[in-house]
Structure 1
Amino acid sequence: MSTTNIELFFYVIFALSLGSYSAAFSVRWPTKCFYLWRKEAHHLLSIPFIDSKDSIKAKRSHCSHCSHLLAWFDLLPIVSFLLLKGKCRYCKHSISYRYPIIEALHLILCLPLLWLPLDTYSLILHTTLISALITTTVIDLEHKLIPDECCVIILICALSIHLLNMTLETSVLGILIGYCFAYSLRLFYSTIRKQEGIGLGDVKLISALSAWLGISNLSALLLCASLVGILYTITFNKGGSEQIPFGPFLIFSGIIVFYL
């Protein structure tokens, strides 16, 4: 896809904006989930729940330390972080590096899309899909959770892409076979080992990735993810003491399979 400088500029703004939202979502989604789970647990145990709702209230972007509302010029992806030297304009407390890192990841992983033969609609869908994958990776690494919201976005974008390319059948087959295979593997492992080997979130993620990559790339996706996972375990988790989320390996492998 050939692009002019103006088109490149607006695409960079779009990708960075998605990155900014992704960084905020990766903080707010787990906070809201943990709050609702605590509330439900208290309700089931008939224990009064007096936790504050302040942490999950929908409100404008604000500093997590001084709670000061942030102006638009404080929220420019990467640029504001650099201009403020990584500190809040109001309380001078350090800003987490997660925000510029996630925003930069969006640029690194999305910019190569411009060199693929994609029309504008497909470009937007692929960019949104990759943003959802990055968000899922961050949350799964930190909390070992895979948001259903992200899987739904990946699924919708994948089906829309294949519908546009007249290859919807390979996407639907990917969903069905990917889900059935992963769920069967989960059931088999839990029956033999009496413990969970693959979470339901991973099963949904495999199904969503299969919808994107198609049935023909399912074996390559699982093989690559398994090899990367084994390599990581041998290198960094030799004793097996760390519980490793499989989602990031699936996502990394999915992006590699897509580009290659």
Structure 2
Amino acid sequence: MIELIVFLLGLSIGSFLNVCIYRIPRGESISFPPSHCTNCNKSIKAYDLVPVVSYIFLKGRCRYCGEKISIKYPLIELITGIVFVVIYIKYGLTIECLKFFFLVSFLILVGIIDYNSMDVYAVTIHSALICGLFFLGVNMYMNLPVKTYIIGAIIGGGVIAIIIILFGGMGWGDAEMCAFCGLYIGVKLTLLMLFLSVNIGAIVAVTNILLKRKTRKDPMPLCPSIAFGTFICIIWGEKILTWYFNNLLFF
């Protein structure tokens, strides 16, 4: 029952993320006007805003003008719902679980906007940092570790910043995203996140070049790779580090 509630919560958050993903790059308010069809501008009724279900019921089209609705909207809702359940199963009903609900929401938001527009917006970064600082305050109140998260943020943003200054090839939005990720996951997982993100990004870039979707001169978004690398760290990071130190460190 709890898993179902968490899944429904994730679907609802995914629906909100869809609004943010569409409106933030356009400089629009995320609260006004209410949800509407981008083709005919008709306001969408509440019963047509039920995540995933409404899309299926309407057969992927606007009720009023028949304009096709992109499949990406229910997919983002489903992915958010599934990711929330995975995090709940891993962490249970804890502060860590709530913290990572916020983090993955920002990962999805920033990653998809960067994928769509090759840009990272200050409002998303600032919101993620504010929430991260809130959970840092919760840790201080509960006498839990704080230093590792501060250093994680410094390392996450600092490493990418150094790469940008020395070699280029990345954007400052990538550094900012790694900084807020470090604020949530701490030093050890931040180092793993950087390793995974760069390698995932390289694999994606090489694949796109081989498939001739991109050329070597084309810019490629790194934030989706950072998002995926961070999620891996949230769920399997400790196991990966344990395996590494037990099997490969002195190989």
TM beyond 0.5:
yes
Instruction: Look at both structures and tell me which one has the larger radius of gyration over its CA atoms.
Output: 1
Whole-angstrom distance in 1 between the partners of 2:126 and 2:97: 18
1:144 counterpart = 2:122:
no
Aligned partners of 2:197 and 2:229 also within 8 Å: yes
- The residue identity in structure 2 corresponding to 1:213 is I
Shift of 1:22: 0.4
Whole-angstrom distance in 1 between the partners of 2:88 and 2:30: 37
Partner of 1:119: 93
Normalised by the length of structure 1, the TM-score is 0.80
- The residue identity in structure 1 corresponding to 2:199 is L
**Aligned equivalent of 2:151, options 173, 179, 189:** 173
Where does the alignment leave 5 or more consecutive residues of structure 1 unmatched?
34-54, 190-195
Aligned partners of 2:55 and 2:61 also within 8 Å: yes
Alignment of 1:34-49 (within 5 A): none
Whole-angstrom distance in 2 between the partners of 1:124 and 1:110: 10
- The residue identity in structure 1 corresponding to 2:14 is G
After superposition, the Cα gap between the structure-2 partners of 1:125 and 1:257, relative to the gap in structure 1 and judged at 3 Å, is: closer
1:58 counterpart = 2:32:
yes
Partner of 1:77: 51
1:205 counterpart = 2:183:
no
Name the % identity: 25
Whole-angstrom distance in 2 between the partners of 1:90 and 1:144: 33
Aligned partners of 2:6 and 2:84 also within 8 Å: no
Whole-angstrom distance in 2 between the partners of 1:153 and 1:101: 24
Shift of 1:29: 0.7
CA deviations 1:194-213 (Å, max 9, x no partner) are: xx422111110111111112
Partner of 2:233: 257
After superposition, the Cα gap between the structure-2 partners of 1:246 and 1:90, relative to the gap in structure 1 and judged at 3 Å, is: same
1:219 counterpart = 2:191:
yes
Whole-angstrom distance in 2 between the partners of 1:221 and 1:124: 20
Shift of 1:179: 2.2
Where does the alignment leave 5 or more consecutive residues of structure 2 unmatched?
237-251
Whole-angstrom distance in 1 between the partners of 2:68 and 2:55: 10
**Aligned equivalent of 1:188, options 166, 172, 192:** 166
After superposition, the Cα gap between the structure-2 partners of 1:120 and 1:224, relative to the gap in structure 1 and judged at 3 Å, is: closer
Whole-angstrom distance in 1 between the partners of 2:30 and 2:130: 27
1:32 counterpart = 2:27:
yes
Aligned partners of 1:31 and 1:56 also within 8 Å: no
Q: Give SS of 1:205's match.
A: helix
- The residue identity in structure 1 corresponding to 2:87 is L
